[in-house]
Every structure is written in structure tokens, then in C-alpha cells.
Structure 1
Amino acid sequence: MKRIFTSLIATAAPLFVMSQNVNINILKDINPGSEGSSISQLKTFGNKLYFSADDGIHENELWVTDGTSTGTRLVKDINPTGNSGIVELTEAGGKLVFSAFDGSTGIELWVTDGTEAGTKLLKDIYTGESSSVALNFKQYGNRAIFVANDGTHGEEVWITDGTEAGTYMIKDIAPGSESSYSSDFTEYKGKIYFQASNGIDGWELWTTDGTEAGTYMVKDIFAGSDSSPRRFKVFNDKLFFRADDENGDELWVTDGTEAGTVLVKDINPTEGSSINEFVEINGRLCFRATDGVHGAELWTTDGTEPGTVLVKDINPGGADSFPGALTVFNDKVYFQATDGVHSEELWVSDGTPNGTYMVKDINPNGYSAPNFFATFKDKLFFVAIDGSNGSELWMTDGSENGTVKLTPPNATEPSPLYFLPFFTEFNNELFFKAEFDDQGVELWKLSLGELNVTDVQKSLTIQVYPNPVQSELKVQTANKEIIDQLSIYGLDGKLIKTSHPKSNNPAINVSQLSKGTYLLEVQTSKGKTNKKFIKN
């Protein structure tokens, strides 16, 4: 089954139309009928894609594909009596390790090389029928860090190289049967940083190099309580994170030393700023925070106190815009937010107030809640609701007109992406979990064809000058209408620059563009039109 969609990047009497074929195919109807195969845990490894699926016979088990229907197969029925519950597929020692249940030894550590014979219990950490429940896997060089409970030491930090002998507890951080509940593993400067509790100092900042001696608390940030360091992000050769102390939860940074672990800024002096979702754009970190005045809004930092500032009060008056699902695409951050007029819609920011704006009001009658973003071939894919059929698959190039829904014309209920889609790029295609045509939830794949640029020039409604241009390109409409948006595209269809002049004779700086031919899209209240220009 194949669906081909065409995305139009320019409409409304265009001078040039850019179109691109979007090919969507079901990989394989693993569980025929309307039940679906409960796809999850997609992981690329070697030249294959591994995942968990239920074919209606074996329940949820380990599957593999080479990207073709005939090359999609069950690897092994790990639990012949039920669901193996595979989670956390992670590379270690040239193999994949994961947590699974075989029906007799509990939830334990497994390993696979992609063959049935090579898929086996790696180590029964909590011997017998009890479960060690190996979780929180993080690849660390050629090994994997995780947490597990051996029945004696509680839940502690373990490491594996994919062999039984090379699988061991690194350190009993909370001595005895107490658990350290370690989590948020992040690699920085060749070590793993995480939060853990030793049973005395509360949840604090720890680090490990994979050895017992090299596993220690970096700093007791909140003496006598829990700082709970989390949301780690490496930026400018330092590790930024959210942590609590007497100031509440705020922005912290560490260079890996106790002295170098410090508060960056007390954003909300009254109760904490609830920092979340770090992403890096244009040499700065963007994140969500509240300062107690503006509500939850978009912030940015260069790593210093004076350089930590509110980007824009998107929803004025102290209300929350609550920017969420922050994702970097083409050197900007895309996210969902509400400005108090429109519900949760698609927004973009380059880290400046003028460069922060709503891309498109996808659902004028409610919220579109764009989420689960994934970049693929100079496009951004996501899930959104336009009010017609629940959560659907969308694609954007960063412009309003280039934000389009990708749905077969006869898609059936329920909505195809009412659940986590598990977007994963593999073999030059984008794989995702979806439901189309009453086949239940299955694994689908998407590919993008070549971009086509068609010249359909009509009577000019805009003037651009000078053309060719070196620095500033000026724009004038025939009737001197207010120009709301200017967008520059390369002839490959990639959005390069956008501005919102709100003027009838604006100019846009093109001095940074390389020499060549570009397309300028001009948007007014009456629609859009386009004009080619040459940069000298």
C-alpha cells in the first residue's frame, strides 16, 4: 500500500511553485486485522532496525527489519507463554542489550546479535524468579550504564560490555539493601553524571567513570535535603541542569568539580523557576522557565547570570504560554505555545523577541498541540490536531504555507497518531508508528522525493529591488499593502530566513547569503506571492 502526497510551499497566485512528493508506505501488516501490532522501542543497530511488536501469535517480542516487508521478521519468541516486555534497546559491546521477561527468570538483562541463537539472557542479576528490573540504560563508549536490583544491594548503578563477566555493579552508593535510585545519566567529559541518593545526603549530583573509585558525589547542593539534579545538557564545555536548593529549583552549571558547581541565576526568587527542556541554538541555550512575573515562558542563556534572560513574553499579563516539546530545526527552536489568543499552536524562535512568532494557527477553533517533533531531510515532522480528525501527521519547512498535513484522503478512525509515533530515521527513510485504513497500529515509513520548482509566472503584484542585490533587498506591493511576512528560500526548497516587517515598503538583509538565485515569498492579508532574486 502506498500513499503519495504533494506539499506546496507557495500558493495564492505564485510565480514559482515548489512541490515535493511524500511517499508513505506500510512496512508490513505484522498483525493483520484491526488490532495492530503495538509497535514500540525502535532502535537502529548495524544496518537493521530493531523494535518490539505483537503479531497476534507471540505477543510483544523482538523484531528486526532491513526496511523491506520481506526483510521484517521475528528475532525470537523470548517468552513463549506471554509478553516479554522488551524495553531500553541499547548498544554495548557490538550487540544490543535490553530488559526483558522470559516467563521464568523475572525481568532481567538480555542481549542480542540479531539472530535467534544470539538472543539470550545475558545475566540473571536477581537470581531465581525475582526481577532485577534493569532500566535507565545509557550507552557509555562501548558499554552501557543502567540501574538494577540484585536482591542484596537494592537498586544501584551497573555497567555491561555485553558479556556476563563484564556485567557488574559499579558501586553500592546507598550501602546495604537501600537503593540509590540513580537516574538521568548524561555523558560529559568522558564521565557519566547523574542524580543519586547515598541514604544520607539526599538526591544529589554524582559522577562515575565506570569504576567504584571513580564513582562519587560531586557536590551536596542542598545540604540536609534533596537537590534532585536533572534535565542535564552539555553546553559550552559545561554541564547545565536544574536543581533545588534554598532558592527553589533553578538553573545550575558544573565543570565536574565541587567548586565549579554553582547556581547560574535565581530566576524566580520566590519559589523556583521550574526550568525544563534545554535546547541549543545560535550559541545559546533555550529553555522554559517562570520568573514569578511572566508565567512559564521561553528563556535563553549564554551561561552567565546577566546573559540569562526572557526571550519573549508570548502570553502577556502573567499567564503561561508554556512552551513545550522544544526541538531544534534549521538553527531555530520550534515548539508549542499559547499567546492567550490562540490555543497551543506551532511557534518558532531564533532566540530573539522579533524572531519569536507563531508559524501557523493549525486549529483556529481550538488547540493543535504540536508534539513529538522529528527532523528528517530538511523538514520537520510532528503530530498535531487541526480539528478534523484528531492527531495527525504534519510536516513543515518552517513557513506558514509550508506547514501541511500528510494524511491519506480516506484515513479511518481512530486518528493515525493518537499515540507516541516513535519517529526513527533508517536507510534514508523515516519510520513511525501509525494507524491507517483499519489495519490497526503498524510500522510505517516515509520518504521524500526530489523537490520540483515550476515556473508559473503571472502579472507582477510585487516589486523587489535592487535585483541583483548585495545587502538589502527592498519590497513593494502594487497597492502598497502591509507586508506581514518575508521568507527567503533556496531553490532546493530550504527555508533560509524569515522576517515580520508589518510595513508596506520593507527591506530584508541578504548580505550573509552566498551568491546565487533565491526565492522571496511575500505574505499580506490578501495572500502570498513570490519573486526570484539574485544575490551578488
Structure 2
Amino acid sequence: MGRGHTLSVALTTLLVMIMLGSAATPLGLEKYNTASTHSDSGIQADFNHPSIVVEGSQIEPMTFDAVPAFGSEAEGDCSPPIICPQPETPVKLADIPSSGTLGQNSGMVAMDGMLYFDANTPKSQLWQYDPSTDSISEITSISQSSSYGGQVAKYGGFATLEHILYFDATESASGTELWAYSPLNDTYWMIDDIRSGSGSSKPGSSTGLVPMSGKLWFNAEDGTHGNELWSYDPSSRTAEMVTDLSPGSSGSSPGVFSGLVPISDRWLLFDADDGTTGIEPWVHDTFTGYTTLLGDINPGTSPSLPGYLLPFMHVGDHIVFDASNQTHGTELWAIDKTSQNWEATLVCDIWQGSSSGQPNSGSDEPAVIGDRIYFSARDQAHGSELWSFNSVDQTCTRNSDIRPGSQGSNPGSVSRGFHNIAGIIAFSANDGTSGNELWFYSPENSTSWLAADLTSGTISSYPGQYSGFTTTDEGHAYFTASSSGSGYEPHVIDATDFSTSLLADIRPGSHSSESARSTGYVIMNRDMYFDAKESASGSDLWVVRNATNNSAVAWTVSPALPYGLEISPVDGTISGTPTQVTDLTTYQIDATNSSGVTVSIYIEIAVLADNDLDGIPDTVPDDLSSYTDLISDSDDDNDGISDSVEVNSGSSPLDVDSDDDGFCDGSIEVPGVCTYGPDPYPMNPNFPVDTDGDRLADSDFDGNGPAVADDDDDNDGFIDSEDAFPLDPSDWLDTDGDTVGDLSDTDDDNDGVDDVDEHIAGTDSTSVDTDDDGICDGPYARQSCTTGPDPYPIDPLLPMDTDGDGLWDNLPDDAADNFVEDYDDDGDGLDDTVETGTGFYISPSDRGTDPLNPDSDGDGFCDGSNEVAGTCSRGEDPEPFNPNIPMDRDQDRLADQVDPQWPAFYGDEDADDDGDGYTDSMEYKCDSSALNPNDVPDDLDGDFICDDEDPDMDGDGSFNSEDRFPEDPNDWSDFDNDGVGDNSDLDSDGDGLANEYEHPECILSLDCDMDGTPDVSDPFPTDPTEYSDTDNDGIGDNSDPDSDGDQICDGSTSFPGICTGGPDAFPYDPAAYLDTDGDGLTDYLIEGIPSTLVIDLDDDGDGWDDLEEIRCRSDPLDSNDVPSDVDNNKECESVGAQVSETFAVFGAFIALLLVVGLFATPLIRDHIRKRIESSRSEDEG
């Protein structure tokens, strides 16, 4: 049949009955094998009877086989002439309206064949892309009145759980809270107003929204307990605080540094601050509900910041992360999952001492291959390079030195971590020559190489900086990078030859489309989706068709399957959880090969409703009842009242609270909906009376109404808190928790032995293990005991298990079939049949050793080849009745010498016969006795290496050849060559300053800050910008506004409380500050302060001495104000005559006044200075 033709064959109907729900017991083929398993077209269905499940759980996958029709092509063979689809050139799917931005808040997520993302158009809302219609649509309209819209997924991002999309959103009335969207009915709603009112709980702001174990986990702030860990349970539709680690309103702020990391679908690891230990690692066990501190790594309240650089990662039996303390800095820590008590331990001190190795993953996950995890870290010699941790032997190894020297290549810093591509690790690194480019490392041959220099020279391409790396099933990897001639555009690594190429230049030239910057590359079915922009503003949705899963055969179904089910386009498997009630419908399954030939098979699917999600359909239609053992649910809403009773009473069989008054119709409570009843008035919302609306009735109804107000609602004499059946006066105790009271239960402890038989046997009917020997009384295993029945249920010493291996030494004749007799009671590796216990060796089959003692002669070597911990090392003991053979002088259970004639001896020879810590070979070299623990060689540093062989005999870390004091562990260097070691020298650098007076960084430096001023003369020896302090106020002159401390600022600006605005003409001389004419001579000197300055006799430089100007009534500080001197004789006219006349009469007296005036000049000048400053202040005001 040629290309393009379709084989459509009418087949015997294949009925697949699906009920909304979990997997049920497979039905018998003899009853339900009503459909053929293949068609004449060549498609075979790998199921031949109805598959019946219940709402909320995945169906058993329905698979088809097209090999009969297409041969190896249907199994993924792409060899010629078969043509498999190849990745196509990226194309734009849709424009975001109004030049909006796609995925800016939290990227994009795929769910049930649809893409969901936030988009700002310009208001932030939730959008959807439907591949079936090739269209995008806006889903939400939250806070439309706000200019920012709903701010969808801004804090916690997106999460999918049970076909519901969860995200945070902001609404004016409730603030930022947790929201959800259901594609089934196209509705969205707020989950809970965790912080009541307009305040915001900001769910997931530090942890994100993490789905695990059927719940959603996140941090939130409720306004009372602070920021703590919360969870949301879709089954009960309730959000609740998981634990209050830091009681009070401050909160523990979980996940601020590490996020919230799920491990093995059970544990959640995160950092938190409980207010006592600081920020330390914690774990929450979702099975037990316990939250536990994993260790106070940085003792006290100081934080260790676990997971800040390297997130909690599971590798082998360990969970590794980075953490910091004062002793080791930031290094690699781990938790051993196999240990009974989880506790964080330091596994690698990469940079020895208090410096930090800073193991980190480059802002994303490290790569895990086998038992190794790869990350970047730094040490003193190599800087930051690629390292790995081996979880088997718990060692760290540096795997590369891409950039030799201490600078390092900083691997993974721009590629968002390290990425496993078909067993090769891809990451960014800078070798100092090519810039930040793409590198590969092969764990197989321990080599690293430059994968591609996308931008030639030292210019960096920054691979993955915008997008990270996305790997397909074929091992190809997509990422964004800049290459020569283009901006940041999508690239691909081909895993077949590890070549790297530009996928497309979406925005040609040097401009960048910044592909996947917001969304990353998202794989859905065969195609890969991402955001990109063709212009400077906005971004749009793009796709690469056939990016992955490129099998030659493509599968489709028509019409669309019930919601929640999907068909794989690659292999045709139908899987999922049906959430849409569907009548019996026929579906055509088509498989099309690379030649265009299509073959078909027809199946029928019916989806039945299950209102209460209890696994029982509400109703099984008569026309389908012959195909299933299921029966209709007698209590559709699971409220404890049968449907028939509810119909007769008028309440709804599909509503647990028919009148919506908060009191359940029946006796079963539904958290978040109603408190347990039964409601005596199920159709009257006004009764029972609940004044405050807290779902607690104001009064009780003697057991007939809500059991919430009475301490003993059923009046059976047992208070409700101690009554397993508070509404049943006939029972109050339920030992085994099976909801059947002990008075009615025929097996109270549910151990498989009836109470009557237990009383006859003398065992306790309320204890599963009467004698507490770890073996259950009955045939069932329980948490406290293993599967029984115990043949000696009241004797804790029997049955005996000498070696504790869970096998009984002697198996009673009436023991249950599940028990196995131990044929090696003492666990030494010899069967009991050959250990005859006679004390004499006869033959290999009659050894005479004790079958209940693994070491018959007590010499520490087992009779058999096994080691028995705490008793003996592995043998076989060549002479099991001679405690001196093998010889073991130091009793360390290692033979001093192993005789080659002992063919069955599997123990190890002792390298240190006398147990003194020195190997025998070492003692031979160092002339001490290997058989005398008191004769040891000279060993100055006690490292068990004798001095003659020790390259560092004093153990101070310096080799003898480089150690100035090789026999002194306290000294190894002598900076000033004075014969005294630096650690002992009181002045190590010999600069004349004792170490105790020098800065710690300057002890071995003559000019610590390299400013040219020796430390002995430098008041600031570690500050290269300061080297003098004129006024000794502790502030360097370069920084001091008043260097000489004379209260006159060096500059013109005033500093209140420090100095008045100058400038100070002599900033380094406190005795002077004024030089009116700027001639370098001070106007005056302050008395009592030593100075080398000279007083200026002509302050204003006008040629007239200050005394002359004072005498002639001109201003000595104003060069424009000079005495009148018409005849230019340097004597003022107006005063000259008066002076002559005065001197003639009062000469001697005037002379005396002049002398007094000379000494008063400073006072006059000070007055003048104050007058000038006053005038300046008035001008500034």
C-alpha cells in the first residue's frame, strides 16, 4: 500500500471501562475477555480485558504494538530508508498582545498537553497555549483595576499537582495568596486567604511551590506566626502550617537561602532559623510529620547558610550541600541517609583551614553521574575549578585545571550549573584566552576540553546564561549563547558527535532575541517551546518542531480522550488519571509511519463518576454491570449516611453538608467543610445554633447532635478525648485502630489471632508481641515485630537466634512456613553440621568446633571464613583450638604473620605486630623492635613516621629542607634573619615595632600599606591613603577636616562641632591659621604652642607695617586701606604733626603706650577676625 493511504479496519470492540479513580484489582479473564487484542491492520493492543480504576489515581497504562504493521520502524529504528522526523527551524507561534512580555514572572510550565505562562499585556495574568488549536488565550482577570494586574506567579512560581495548576497571585482585597486553575471546568480560584484581609502571605516567596507526596509545600506568612512552612492538601482542600519552628511573630523564614528541596518523594530539606541556632539545615519527613534540625553547623546563633551555593542534592546514600562555620569556612557537608540519626557532617575541607572552598553549582543544579556529583570549588593553588564528590568513599577530587594558577576558570558560573549530556558534563568556563565559553568534561577518561569557541578571541559567548540547558531524550541539549555575527540566540549540542551549532538567528545581526530568557526551553510531546523577541520590546512564543522523541511512527487518537487521559505521540501509550465523566465512547487509535501509511484500531472507554473519591463509583449503569465486579456506592458523599437514608430524609447524597451550616450531615468530619455530626437538622442552616460561626454548636444534643460541646457526647463514662467512639456509647476503645471497637472486635490488636485464642494461649489480646522478643504473636508483621506466629509467644528467650541474623537456630516442627532455619547458628561461615562441638578436629566435615561460638579458642580469629563483628575477624582459624595460632601479639585480630600453608585463611596480615602505631617496615628502617610496643623509634612530632624518614620531622607543615627550625614545631621562618623564629620573635620583621603594637597584617612587613612611609613612622600602617595625623586625633590628615585641630577647618566648609570654615592657611600648624596677604607669613601665633612660623609685620601686604596702620588709623588687614602720605615719606600726614608735637611733650609716655600696643596687637587682630567671620555669616544667611 503506497504512501499517504490509510488502513482503517473495523475491529471487534475493545472495551476499556475507566472510572474516575485509583487502580482496582485486575478482573478475571474468563469473565471480561470480550475484546480482541489485535486487528487485521497490524496494531496489537497489549490489554485484553476492561481496566478499572477509581478517581484520583493513574490508570494502568494501555499500550499498543505496531511492529506487526511496521516492523522495526515501530521500535524506533531510524536507519535508511526509514526517515525519522528531524528538528525544524524555530518558528513563531503567537504574538503576545500589546508588545507584552511572556513568562517574565515565573517562566512557563506544561500540563496535560497545554502550556501555561504569565504574560504582561501590560497587566500580569495567566495565559494558555493550546497546540490542538494553535492558539493562545488569557485565562485569568485578577485585579483588573490594578495597573499591574494579578502579578501571576511573581513569588512562588507555578506548580502542577493532580491536573491542577497552582500559582500565587495578588488581589486588592486579599493581597498575595495561593490560587489554582482547573482546565477541566476552566475555572480559577483563591485556595485560601492565609493572611486574612489585604495583607499578603506571599506563598512560596522563598521556597517556591513544591508538589510532593500528594500535597503542595511552600513558605507563607499568616500574620501571627511569621514566615513558616505550610502545606496544602487537595484531598481535604485545606492549607495548614506544617510547623512553627520559631514561635512568635518573627518566623523561621524557611528556604531563604536553600529553597525547599524534595528528596525521594518523602523528605523536604531547607534552611531555617529557629531563633536559637541561627540559619541551619532542617528536614521535614512527610511520612512521619516530624521536622528535625540536622545539626548546629555554626554553633550558637551564627548562621551556616546551608545550601546557599550548592543546593541539597541526593547522590548515592548521601545528601550533600555547602555550609559555613568559623573553623572551616564554606565547605562541603553531607548527610548519610543510611544512618539511624541524620546529622550533617563535614566531608570535604577543600580549602584547608578557615578559608572557604565555596563548593557551588553556578546558581542551578550540579551534575550527578553514578555515585559522583560535579560542582565548582576553589583551593589556594588553583582558584575555582571543576570538582566532584564520590559518595562511596566520601572523597573530593579536583577534576580540571582549565585556567592554571590561582585565578581559576570559574566553571558553571554563567551556564547555570553543570549539565549531563549523554554522560558528558557541559558547563561554561573561562580559560583566560577564549573568554566564558562552552566546555565538556568526560568522567570516563577524566579529560576536559573546549567544546566550542562561539565568539572568537577573549570575547565571551556566555552559554546558557539566559536559558540554562534543556536536554532531550536523545541527549541533545538546547541553550542560548552569543556567537560571532549574532546576538544571544538558540544553539544546540548534537549528542551523536557533541558538535555545537546555531539553531537560528531569530533576530538577525548583532541584536539578540534573548531566546528562553524568561521561560527556558520547555519540552512537550515532540516539540520544544520558548520565548524570544524580534524587536527591542516584548517577547513572543516560539517552537522547534520535532525537537525530541523523533520516532518514525506517530500516534493519534480521535475523538479526544476523556480529560486527564493522554496518548503518547511516540509509542501510543494511553495513561493518566481520568477526571471527566464520559459515556461509553468509541476511539480510533491511528499509527502513521514515515512513509505516510496509517493503520488503526478501535477501543471503547467509559468513565464513571465517583463523588467522594473512595474508589467506588456512584452508580454502575446496568448496561456496563456485566463487564465489572464493581457495585454502586451506597454512600456517594462518604458522610457516614447511606444514600437511601439521605434521599428519604431530604438531605443530599452528593453533599456532606446539605444545608451548608458547617455541621456535616453524617458523623464523618470533612476538614475545611464541616465538623462531624450527624446534623439533627440537615436541611435547616439555622440549627444547631452556632452563634460565632466557628462550627462548634452552642449546646449539645446528648449524642444525637454535633459532638463538640459535651466532654462526653455519647455518655458512656469516657471523655471524648479518650474515647475512640465519642458518639457510640457501646464502645470506647480501639486498640488496633481499625474503627471497630474492642468490645465488638474479635481481634483487638489485629495480629491475626482471635482474642479467644489469645486468652487460651495466655497471650495479650491488646499486644501484637506479648513477650517483646520482636516476633509477632500472629502471622502478620507489624511496626514493632516481624512476621509470626511466634511458637513461644510468652518466652522472650525463644526461639533462639545466636548470631542475630533473623534465622532461628532450631526450627520447631510446627513453625510457620515463612520461617527458615539457620544452618550456621553462630554466623562464622561454617555449617552447624561440621561444627560438631567435640573440641577435636577430625576432618573437614567433623571439625569439632562450637556451633554456637564463632571463635572456639577465643583468639580473635573466627572458626570459619566470616567475620563476626565484635567477636572475631574472618578466618578460617588454622588451629581453632590453639589460642596462640595465628599469633596476634597486639590482639588487634590481625595475624602477625600469615602462613602460606593456611589455604583457607581469609584474614589480613598485621602490618604492625606490636600495635605501637609504627609499621613493622618502618621500625626495621628506624632500628626499633617490631615486636616490642615499648621500643619505638625517635618521632618528634608523634605522627608515627620516624624522624629519619619524616620529611617534616617537627610536624609544622614545612618540609625539613625549607624549615629554618626543623626541630621546632612552633617556628619555621625568620623574616628578619635575627636567629629568632617569627612566631617567637617579639618583633618579627625587625622594624623596631613590637608585634603586639603592630596590626596583625603588618607583623611581617616594613611598610604594610606600601604608601612609602615606614610602619614605625606611619600612624596608619594598613591604610595606603593615610600616613600622618598632625593633631593625633586618630583621623588621618587626608580625611580630617581640621588636620591640626585648631578648630579652623582646612577648607572653607564648616563642620559643626568640629571646626569653623576656613580655609586654614597653615592646616598642619595649630599655632596659626591666618595669612591675610598670602605671603607665607602668619598674621600672628597663638601663645603657648610651639611653631617655626614667622609673624608677618605687614599682614595685608600694602607696604605699611601693621603698627603704622594702627597708629595712622587705617585697617592693617585691608590692602586697599592705607594711611594718607602725600609726600610719600612713609609717614602718614594726619598724624605726623601730632606725633612730633606729642613726642616733644610726652615722648617718653607715648613710647610706653606703643610698647603696650605692640603686645595688644594679637587681641586687636582676633577682634578683627571675629568681625570678618561675623560679616561672612551674615552674608551666607
TM-score range, shorter chain: 0.7 to 0.9
Q: 2:173 aligns with which of 96, 104, 108?
A: 104
Aligned partners of 2:167 and 2:179 also within 8 Å: yes
Which letter does structure 2 place at the counterpart of 1:369? Y
Aligned residue number for residue 350 of structure 1? 442
Residue-by-residue CA offset, 1:202-250 (whole Å, 9 max, x unaligned)? 1111111248951121222221122221111101032111111221111
Aligned residue number for residue 491 of structure 2? 394
Aligned partners of 2:331 and 2:358 also within 8 Å: yes
Range with greater deviation from structure 2 (107-116 or 394-403): 394-403
Q: 2:195 matched to 1:133?
A: no
Q: 2:423 aligns with which of 324, 331, 335?
A: 331
Write out aligned runs for 1:60-79 (5 A): 60-68=124-132, 70-79=134-143
Which letter does structure 1 place at the counterpart of 2:456? P
Aligned residue number for residue 200 of structure 1? 276
Write out aligned runs for 1:475-490 (5 A): none
Which letter does structure 2 place at the counterpart of 1:338? N
Aligned residue number for residue 306 of structure 2? 229
Aligned residue number for residue 188 of structure 1? 263
Q: 2:215 matched to 1:174?
A: no
Which letter does structure 1 place at the counterpart of 2:455? N
Residue-by-residue CA offset, 1:328-361 (whole Å, 9 max, x unaligned)? 1111110000112211111011236752111111
Aligned partners of 1:116 and 1:442: how far apart in 2?
27
Residue-by-residue CA offset, 1:238-289 (whole Å, 9 max, x unaligned)? 2111111221111111135656531111111241111111211243111100
Aligned partners of 2:175 and 2:394: how far apart in 1?
52
Identity %: 26
Aligned residue number for residue 49 of structure 1? 115
Q: 1:374 aligns with which of 470, 477, 480?
A: 470
CA 1:338–1:375: 2 relative to 1, 3 Å: same
Aligned residue number for residue 295 of structure 2? 219
Which letter does structure 1 place at the counterpart of 2:447? G
Which letter does structure 1 place at the counterpart of 2:305? S
Q: 1:272 aligns with which of 339, 356, 362?
A: 356
Aligned residue number for residue 230 of structure 2? 158
Aligned residue number for residue 262 of structure 1? 345
Which letter does structure 2 place at the counterpart of 1:382? F
Aligned partners of 2:85 and 2:439: how far apart in 1?
23
Which letter does structure 2 place at the counterpart of 1:64? Q
Aligned residue number for residue 23 of structure 1? 89
Structure 1 residue 114, shift from structure 2 partner = 2.4
Aligned partners of 2:510 and 2:533: how far apart in 1?
8
Aligned partners of 2:510 and 2:143: how far apart in 1?
32
Aligned partners of 1:274 and 1:218: how far apart in 2?
20
CA 1:179–1:401: 2 relative to 1, 3 Å: closer
CA 1:150–1:19: 2 relative to 1, 3 Å: closer
Aligned partners of 1:291 and 1:37: how far apart in 2?
41
Q: 2:542 aligns with which of 440, 444, 454?
A: 444
Aligned partners of 1:341 and 1:309: how far apart in 2?
25
Aligned partners of 2:498 and 2:482: how far apart in 1?
17
Aligned partners of 2:109 and 2:116 also within 8 Å: yes
Aligned partners of 2:358 and 2:442: how far apart in 1?
22
CA 1:247–1:258: 2 relative to 1, 3 Å: farther
CA 1:155–1:451: 2 relative to 1, 3 Å: closer
Aligned residue number for residue 90 of structure 1? 159
Aligned residue number for residue 40 of structure 2? none
CA 1:253–1:314: 2 relative to 1, 3 Å: same
Structure 1 residue 402, shift from structure 2 partner = 2.6
Structure 1 residue 317, shift from structure 2 partner = 1.2
Structure 1 residue 27, shift from structure 2 partner = 2.0
Q: 2:503 matched to 1:406?
A: yes
Aligned partners of 2:511 and 2:357: how far apart in 1?
38
Which letter does structure 2 place at the counterpart of 1:426? M
Aligned residue number for residue 146 of structure 1? 218
Aligned partners of 2:293 and 2:498: how far apart in 1?
51
CA 1:115–1:61: 2 relative to 1, 3 Å: farther
Write out aligned runs for 1:435-474 (5 A): 435-436=533-534, 440-448=538-546
Q: How large is the Cα RMSD of the aligned pairs?
A: 2.8
Aligned residue number for residue 424 of structure 1? 522
Q: 2:384 matched to 1:296?
A: yes
CA 1:211–1:159: 2 relative to 1, 3 Å: farther
Listed as ranges, the gaps of 5+ residues in structure 1 are 1-17, 453-536
Q: 1:244 aligns with which of 284, 303, 324?
A: 324
Aligned partners of 1:168 and 1:290: how far apart in 2?
42
For residue 546 of structure 2, give the secondary structure of its aligned residue in structure 1.
strand
Listed as ranges, the gaps of 5+ residues in structure 2 are 1-83, 553-1181
Aligned partners of 1:108 and 1:133 also within 8 Å: yes
Aligned partners of 1:164 and 1:128: how far apart in 2?
23
Aligned partners of 2:127 and 2:140 also within 8 Å: yes
For residue 499 of structure 2, give the secondary structure of its aligned residue in structure 1.
coil
Q: 2:402 matched to 1:309?
A: no
Residue-by-residue CA offset, 1:128-162 (whole Å, 9 max, x unaligned)? 11100111221112111100000000000000123
For residue 157 of structure 1, give the secondary structure of its aligned residue in structure 2.
strand
Which letter does structure 1 place at the counterpart of 2:398? L
Aligned partners of 1:333 and 1:438: how far apart in 2?
34
Aligned partners of 1:367 and 1:328: how far apart in 2?
22
Q: 2:406 matched to 1:322?
A: no
User: Larger radius of gyration, structure 1 or 2?
Assistant: 2
CA 1:227–1:105: 2 relative to 1, 3 Å: same
CA 1:236–1:211: 2 relative to 1, 3 Å: closer
Aligned partners of 1:370 and 1:438: how far apart in 2?
21
Residue-by-residue CA offset, 1:501-524 (whole Å, 9 max, x unaligned)? xxxxxxxxxxxxxxxxxxxxxxxx
Aligned partners of 2:427 and 2:498: how far apart in 1?
17
TM-score (norm 2): 0.35
Residue-by-residue CA offset, 1:369-428 (whole Å, 9 max, x unaligned)? 101111124311111112433211111115888311122476377411163442111121
Which structure dedicates a bigger proportion of its chain to helix? 2
For residue 374 of structure 2, give the secondary structure of its aligned residue in structure 1.
strand
Aligned residue number for residue 287 of structure 1? 375
Q: 2:204 matched to 1:119?
A: no
The alignment covers a number of residue pairs equal to 432
For residue 422 of structure 1, give the secondary structure of its aligned residue in structure 2.
coil
Aligned partners of 2:403 and 2:97: how far apart in 1?
46
CA 1:19–1:185: 2 relative to 1, 3 Å: closer
For residue 88 of structure 2, give the secondary structure of its aligned residue in structure 1.
strand
Structure 1 residue 95, shift from structure 2 partner = 1.6
Aligned partners of 2:509 and 2:102: how far apart in 1?
17
Structure 1 residue 36, shift from structure 2 partner = 4.7
Which structure dedicates a bigger proportion of its chain to strand? 1
Range with greater deviation from structure 2 (359-368 or 383-392): 383-392
CA 1:391–1:60: 2 relative to 1, 3 Å: same
Structure 1 residue 118, shift from structure 2 partner = 2.4
Aligned partners of 2:167 and 2:180 also within 8 Å: yes
Range with greater deviation from structure 2 (177-186 or 297-306): 297-306
Aligned partners of 1:143 and 1:285: how far apart in 2?
29
Q: 1:433 aligns with which of 531, 546, 560?
A: 531
CA 1:258–1:294: 2 relative to 1, 3 Å: farther
Aligned partners of 1:330 and 1:319: how far apart in 2?
30
Aligned partners of 2:100 and 2:511: how far apart in 1?
12
Aligned partners of 2:196 and 2:333: how far apart in 1?
41
